[in-house]
A and B are shown apart, each in its own frame.
Chain A
């Protein structure tokens, strides 16, 4: 296949060539970045939380009466007894917040009382000795809280507990050499707290924004939340009985005492729903980028088909002459395919530069990761194949032009 005559022919319709190349370049730039965003978002939203999501649900329980802390404590204990007695419930625990639930506290951790810069800023879950089993997180070292260690945490009440359980990520951050168990840590206080247990994996309450660098840094405090602001009841259903447990639990709570507030719509959420809510913008973004990429590729392909068809129509006579002079159908087909490949190569060359440029700009604007070259390479191959596929139809039509056309005047 001779390339020179193709280049010579392309010089005759510069504008069309440039437009197709430009379209391919921009499509590559946008699709690469869109795919990269999709991939990042999908990876993000499929990160495990560390808890037994399939059988968990949470109830946000507010109090109708602004009574004293002591009264809330008694109520929480009764509520828990009622929840744990339900036939569909495996276990239940009180908690100040829950993984992926959105809101909650974080407490900076230091290794010495006089340190001013904190080393980690983990999410804090206050709960009782049943919280570990309820969440379904695995204790990999040390022990769980004992019932007699469980204190109370009221409104605007911050007193560090003598013992804490930390996530493995937090333990590794604080003690990179792996000797976290039994060590004292300091949390905005001169009083040390001893790490008595390490759990395998436990996600924070939130997964976006400033918390990204601190993902999976979490800890448990042995305290029942008894503030007037309410608390979460985390409930673990027996296998296959999630729906039943979600129906029964709020009823059981109201049967205990009606002076509580559980939002009829958002008050009782399965963990699947909790997960969906926290990651909804990631999913939306992935869907939008996917839609745009698909439509973009379709439009680019259609544009190539349209323009090549026009060129074929314009050159019927020349094709007829070539055929009359002995060019085979395969030669004609090859001509148009090669022509498209040349334009495509020019386009992807510019497109690669553009793709990386756009990504670098987004890195500075949106704290996005660097585009990996694999995406650009995939995009390049995909667009070249797309171009070849799009040009195939018009090229086949060109190859079927009869040599007789050479003798026609129009």
Chain B
């Protein structure tokens, strides 16, 4: 019966090619618009570190006070004093501080001009905490942090650029005029959005070139290449005055195991802030936060407004396309009331009529899905026109998007066909036969 209904449906669709084409186009455009914007949205709103997003937390401490803070919220990063205090207290399973740096790489070999390299100053815990995958070697350990070791981990791309596809572990490299020993090379690694540094990046930057010890960076007085935000009176005359001030520029992260650990750490933060209040450093009650990755992404509104709006407008567009399809299917099915009447009086049940017309609609959905897929592939490759390059390049067509496109097209068309098919099944055979 199924094959027969498919045949009937095809014949019916061929009878009004214009109407069929219109329905297929409407489904195709609707599903493509939704899928293109969805492919961008899922990339920018995804969980960058699914395994651990509930175990990684960013502590915030209000070092600015109620008059200077962000409408009651503590600043988005820490000042030097508070950051170091958290680090020295060592209350989490793993912990790191980080800030972005930009260092020069001098000409060497076939490169005749110096180039800039971007990286982060981090603690050794950074690598296991954020599950950084290694191609060669590995991160450094706590002893290197302590001894302010001149070691460095390179990104895959940067390693290839400097040394080619070879294991460079053990070699030395000059960054910003200082020598470092390479201890590891990461694989391609660029979690997106870059949850761990939303203070200095929009979350969608290029992969990093290198990672060096935070302690070493401080020794060399390497300034942050990222954001820096200060309050109150400011008189900076170089490195030391900057460290002593209330300028925030360090992002801390801690890894906590159980929810008891989280509660304990939160209490520790409050106690720390209370201590600072008692010591006279803070003239206000403790104001701290401890957000996990998901909460932090949400709080920082990392998903671009454009992406949200365009997804919603596209979905609205799709709904209209479906309403359009419902209307056209209704017209198409009801035009064949006579035919339905004949089939019904020859013994076809309502259920069979219903099935027949749903199958016909599913074929429209299938064709619409295929057309939508073509548009989606074209659209995703041209999405650079619509979104910022850093965001547009995240959109890609994969099997799940292909499957979703087809499934959405067919299911949505079936949903749109429910009412018209029901109407078709309600046709009274006697009525139709009489009027003929």
The verdict on B264 contacting chain A, using a C-beta distance below 8 Å, is no
Q: Which of B177, B313, B419 has the most CB of A within 10 A?
A: B313
Contact status B309-A310, CB under 8 Å: no
The verdict on A66 contacting chain B, using a C-beta distance below 8 Å, is yes
Q: Residues of B with Cβ closer than 8 Å to A?
A: 18-19, 22, 25-26, 29, 33, 37, 67-68, 102, 104, 106-107, 112-116, 176-177, 223, 225, 230-239, 241-242, 304-306, 308-310, 313-314, 316-317, 319-321, 323-324, 326-328, 330-332, 334-335, 385-389, 419, 423, 436
* 30 contacting pairs across A/B (C-beta < 8 A): A15-B330, A19-B323, A19-B326, A23-B320, A23-B323, A23-B324, A23-B327, A29-B316, A33-B313, A65-B177, A116-B68, A117-B67, A188-B233, A189-B233, A254-B113, A261-B113, A280-B388, A281-B388, A289-B313, A292-B33, A295-B33, A296-B317, A299-B320, A299-B321, A306-B18, A306-B331, A307-B331, A313-B335, A314-B334, A410-B436
Q: What residues on B are CB-neighbors of A157 within 8 Å?
A: 236-238
Q: What residues on B are CB-neighbors of A310 within 8 Å?
A: 331-332, 334-335
Instruction: From the candidates B236, B308, B385, name the one contacting A287 in the complex (CB within 8 A).
Output: B385
Overall SS of chain A's interface: helix
Contact status A299-B314, CB under 8 Å: no
Contact status B306-A22, CB under 8 Å: no
Q: Considering only CB atoms and an 8 Å cut-off, how many residues of chain A contact the other chain? A: 62
User: In the complex, A229 Cα to B100 Cα: how many Å?
Assistant: 12
- Closest chain B residue, CB of each to CB of A259: B114
Q: What residues on B are CB-neighbors of A34 within 8 Å?
A: 313
Contact status A65-B104, CB under 8 Å: yes
Q: What residues on A are CB-neighbors of B320 within 8 Å?
A: 23, 26-27, 30, 296, 299-300
Q: What residues on A are CB-neighbors of B327 within 8 Å?
A: 16, 19-20, 23, 303, 306-307
Contact status A314-B335, CB under 8 Å: yes
User: In the complex, A25 Cα to B434 Cα: how many Å?
Assistant: 38
Q: What residues on B are CB-neighbors of A140 within 8 Å?
A: none
The verdict on A64 contacting chain B, using a C-beta distance below 8 Å, is yes
Cβ-closest 5 pairs across A and B: A310-B331, A64-B114, A158-B236, A284-B386, A188-B234
User: In the complex, A288 Cα to B324 Cα: how many Å?
Assistant: 21
The verdict on A63 contacting chain B, using a C-beta distance below 8 Å, is yes
Q: Which of A23, A33, A410 has the most CB of B within 10 A?
A: A23
The verdict on A251 contacting chain B, using a C-beta distance below 8 Å, is no
Contacting residues of chain A (104-122) with chain B, CB-CB under 8 angstroms: 116-117
Q: What residues on B are CB-neighbors of A33 within 8 Å?
A: 313
Q: Which of B25, B309, B324 has the most CB of A within 10 A?
A: B324
- Closest chain A residue, CB of each to CB of B335: A310
Instruction: From the candidates A16, A64, A303, name the one contacting B104 in the complex (CB within 8 A).
Output: A64
Q: What residues on A are CB-neighbors of B177 within 8 Å?
A: 65-66
Contact status A156-B223, CB under 8 Å: yes
Instruction: From the candidates B223, B304, B316, name the one contacting A281 in the complex (CB within 8 A).
Output: B304
